[in-house]
Amino acid sequence: MTTAVADAVAAVDYDHFVTEPDGSALPQSSSVTSIQQMLEDLDVRPGHRVLEIGTGSGYTTGLLANLAGPDGLVRSVEVLADLIPRAQARLQTAGVTTATVTNGDGYAGDPAGAPYDRVVAWATPHVIPSTWIDQIAQDAVIVAPVKVARLARAHAIVTVTVAGGRPSAVSARPGGYIEMHPEPVTVFGLPLRYVDASHVPDGAEPWWFSSPALREVPGAPSQILDRLRSDHLASATPLTTAEDLDDFTAWLYATAPAELATAGLSDRFSGIGAATEHGAAFLTEDELVAVGSPDVVRTLTLWIERWRDAGQPGWSGIAGVVVPNSEGWRVRLTLQLPAIADLKF
């Protein structure tokens, strides 16, 4: 940890913000390790103007106010109205005077405090919204979880460095937060975007299926989902214990094969793999779950072989790219090219 982030963590009392009257932790609070990593990437300096999306308990608002110091400001936007007075009261009793918490949809940002030197989000938008871009200074840093494919659960935490109003560097690390939602979420465990078929059982994790390739094929996603629920075969994962599913996932996002699909497999949680009209095959942490034609398992196996041939690149070999569109900056992952000096001719 840098001294600045370590000092802020030491100065702001986590329990003061997060603990509920009955001693439990507010559900809308984040892991401290993830917060610290993202604050390192954000690099808030004294005097900075900071936009925060997803106030939650107000703990990160307190950290940001500490990092920006008495000459900086923090504008924090939270979609759940009930959390606003709670966060405001705790910020006040913690002596924070430079942060403002407002109720709204973070997709709109907060023009009242613009231009911002830093933007940080603790909930996942599908693109970096154009409002945030309109509200940043010419030189700025944005750290946010964001979707990296039109695929449910495909996200990364990216750091976008903006120089002269244009993105000049994008790095990506694994991780994600809840998807940004315009109103309270009622079904937990079901992604909000890019789910092509779903089933929510009583008292169990949902089943869902996401496949850009089958999205426009009438009936195909629900057929695959029905088969996954009723007659899937599960076997041991083909990945060895030394091989990391997170790294393989990063490589899949970066190479983006057309048949790439994700699924929520109820109590097995989520899987990533391949789907065609004839079947689907998904890797979970320890299993291969498949339905339909063995050709789909062959496709997934071929991807694993290609990943091995490429030296099993993982998140450390991945960079982000941003592509402007009408909604903002779409983020995609790409394989980092080796430095010329490392190439063997």
Ligand X SMILES: C[S@@+](CC[C@H](N)C(=O)[O-])C[C@H]1O[C@@H](n2cnc3c(N)ncnc32)[C@H](O)[C@@H]1O
Site stretch for ligand X (CB under 6 A), options 53-61, 136-144, 165-173, 291-299: 53-61
Check binding of 159 to ligand X (CB under 6 A): no
Min dist CB 76 to ligand X, Å, is: 9
* 169 DSSP β-pair partners: 161
Check binding of 106 to ligand X (CB under 6 A): yes
The DSSP H or E segment spanning 77 is strand 73-78
Hey, what are 300's tokens? Answer: 């997934």
Check binding of 113 to ligand X (CB under 6 A): no
Residue number, 122 or 194, with CB nearest to ligand X: 122
Check binding of 109 to ligand X (CB under 6 A): no
Min dist CB 146 to ligand X, Å, is: 13
Determine what percent of the chain falls in helix, strand and coil, rounding each to the nearest 5.
30, 30, 40
DSSP state of 19: B
Check binding of 80 to ligand X (CB under 6 A): yes
- Rounded CA-CA distance 237/244 in Å is 11
Check binding of 117 to ligand X (CB under 6 A): no
Residue number, 77 or 274, with CB nearest to ligand X: 77
- Rounded CA-CA distance 117/163 in Å is 11
Min dist CB 31 to ligand X, Å, is: 9
Hey, what are 36's tokens? Answer: 């610290």
Check binding of 105 to ligand X (CB under 6 A): yes
Residue number, 51 or 280, with CB nearest to ligand X: 51
Check binding of 180 to ligand X (CB under 6 A): yes
Total binding residues toward ligand X, as defined by CB under 6 A: 24
Hey, what are 31's tokens? Answer: 């892991």
- Kind of pairing, strands 197-199 and 207-210? antiparallel
Q: Binding ligand X by CB under 6 A: which of 116, 132, 177, 207?
A: 177
CB contact set of 337 (below 8 Å; sequence gap of 6+): none
Three-class SS string for 26-76? CCCCCCHHHHHHHHHHHCCCCCCEEEEECCCCCHHHHHHHHHHCCCCEEEE
Check binding of 57 to ligand X (CB under 6 A): yes
Q: Which of residues 194-253 bind ligand X (CB under 6 A)?
A: none
Q: Binding ligand X by CB under 6 A: which of 123, 152, 224, 283?
A: 123
Site stretch for ligand X (CB under 6 A), options 76-84, 91-99, 201-209, 336-344: 76-84
| 59 in Cβ contact with 34 (< 8 Å) | no
- Rounded CA-CA distance 280/141 in Å is 39
Q: Which residues bind ligand X (CB under 6 A)?
A: 28-30, 53-54, 56-57, 59-60, 77-80, 83, 105-107, 122-123, 177-178, 180-182
